[in-house]
Amino acid sequence: MSLTLHYHPLASFCWKVLIALYENDIPFAPNLVDLSNPAERAALLKLSPIGRFPVLQDHARNQVVPESSVIIDYLDRHYPGRTRFIPPDADLAWHTRLRERFYDLYLHLPMQKIVGDRLRPADSKDPFGVEEARAQLRASYRIIDEQLAPGGWAAGEAFTLADCAAAPSLFYGNMMVPFGDQHENLHAYFERLKARPSFARVMKEAEPYFKMVPKES
């Protein structure tokens, strides 16, 4: 098999790539990486010195591709399918990337801040930073709800890279800071995402690992 994805089924940025792979039925070999295992961590570091997943290995083209956004761009170029993640129209393309960056920077990262703090020892927690992250999530929810007023997907009528970014960000974000009843457009969009077969498959495969998600102490 040409492609191997080095990943973890709970990692939100890995979900982003898995959605793209499943969206276009791209065959790949999954390699689940346990970073607490020294041998598996060392093997990942050989592929990508930063030591983070996801990492896509393309054996046919002798390429190692890190970073979720770059991986999806790579798949779109070299393994295209029925869903094009970056629209060919230049204006739609930058708009898609802008929406994707919003989900990654202003939803995904603050969500991860909250999750990461739950993993810290009691004497090393950062309550101020966590409250800042919660405030950012709430602000992002308001913005997204306004953006989604026309309906459709994150960047318009077509499912794109932006939706691959939105799905894991919203799933875990809602666990950390619930959307609330006031964001009807956001709620409706999240239901559309969960009904999408590619994302439904990712969630189903992650279910056995959900008990590992850190709870609030």
Statement to judge: residues 66 and 137 lie in one domain: no
Statement to judge: residues 7 and 56 lie in one domain: yes
Q: For the chain, what's the residue count? A: 217
Backbone angles phi, psi at 55, to 5 degrees: -135, 130
In-domain check, residue 64: yes
pLDDT for 216: 73
* Residue where a domain stops, chosen among 78, 113, 128: 78
In-domain check, residue 54: yes
Confirm if 121 and 114 have CB atoms less than 8 A apart. Answer: no
Q: What are 56-102's pLDDT values in tens digits?
A: 999 999 999 999 999 999 999 999 999 999 999 999 999 999 999 99
CA-atom Rg of the chain in angstroms: 17
Q: What are 8-63's pLDDT values in tens digits?
A: 999 999 999 999 999 999 999 999 999 899 999 999 999 999 989 999 999 999 99
* Residue where a domain stops, chosen among 31, 55, 78: 78
pLDDT for 151: 87
Statement to judge: residues 102 and 176 lie in one domain: yes
Statement to judge: residues 179 and 106 lie in one domain: yes
* Residue where a domain stops, chosen among 78, 111, 141: 78
Statement to judge: residues 94 and 201 lie in one domain: yes
Mean pLDDT of the chain: 95
> Residue 125: which CATH number?
1.20.1050.10
In-domain check, residue 13: yes
Total tally of structural domains belonging to the chain: 2
From residue 102, alpha-carbon distances to 92, 166, 214 in Å are 15, 9, 25
Statement to judge: residues 138 and 164 lie in one domain: yes
Mean pLDDT of 182-201: 97
In-domain check, residue 98: yes
> Residue 7: which CATH number?
3.40.30.10
Domain that holds residue 11: 3-78
Residues linked to residue 58 through DSSP beta bridges, in sequence order: 3, 63
DSSP string, the chain: --EEEEE-TT-HHHHHHHHHHHHTT---EEEE--TTSHHHHHHHHHH-TT--S-EEEETTTTEEEESHHHHHHHHHHHS--SS-SS-SSHHHHHHHHHHHHHHIIIIIHHHHHHHHHHTS-GGG--HHHHHHHHHHHHHHHHHHHHHTTT-SBTTBSS--HHHHHHHHHHHHHHHHS---TT-HHHHHHHHHHHHSHHHHHHHHHHGGGGGGSPPP-
Statement to judge: residues 51 and 141 lie in one domain: no
217 pLDDT above the threshold of 70 = no
Q: What are 174-187's pLDDT values in tens digits?
A: 999 999 889 999 99
Statement to judge: residues 130 and 200 lie in one domain: yes
In-domain check, residue 83: no
Confirm if 6 and 47 have CB atoms less than 8 A apart. Answer: yes
Residues linked to residue 29 through DSSP beta bridges, in sequence order: 4
pLDDT for 214: 84
Statement to judge: residues 49 and 100 lie in one domain: no
Q: What are 132-186's pLDDT values in tens digits?
A: 999 999 999 999 999 998 889 999 999 999 999 999 999 999 999 999 889 999 9
Residue in 108, 3, 19 with CA at minimum distance from that of residue 65: 3
pLDDT for 150: 86
